Structure 1
Amino acid sequence: MYERFLCLLEQSGKTPYQVAKETGISTATLTNWKQGKYSPKADKLKVIADYFDVTVDYFLS
Structure 2
Amino acid sequence: MSIYENIKTACKKSEISISALENRLGFSRSSICKWDTNTPGVDKVKAVADILGVTVDDLLADTQDDG
TM-score range with shorter-chain normalisation?
0.7 to 0.9
Runs of 4+ off more than 2 Å:
none
What is the aligned length? 59
Match of 2:21 in 1: 19
Gaps of 5+ in 2: 62-67
Select the structure that is richer in helix.
1
Please list the CA deviations of residues 6-61 of structure 1 after superposition, one character each: whole Å capped at 9, or x if unmatched.
1111112211110011111222321312xx22022101000000111111111122
Normalised TM-score (structure 2): 0.75
Aligned pairs (5 A) from 1:1-61: 1-33=3-35, 36-61=36-61
Larger Rg: 2
Normalised TM-score (structure 1): 0.81
- Computed over aligned residues only, the root mean square deviation of the Cα atoms, in angstroms, reads 1.3
Match of 2:65 in 1: none
- AA of the residue aligned to 1:5: I
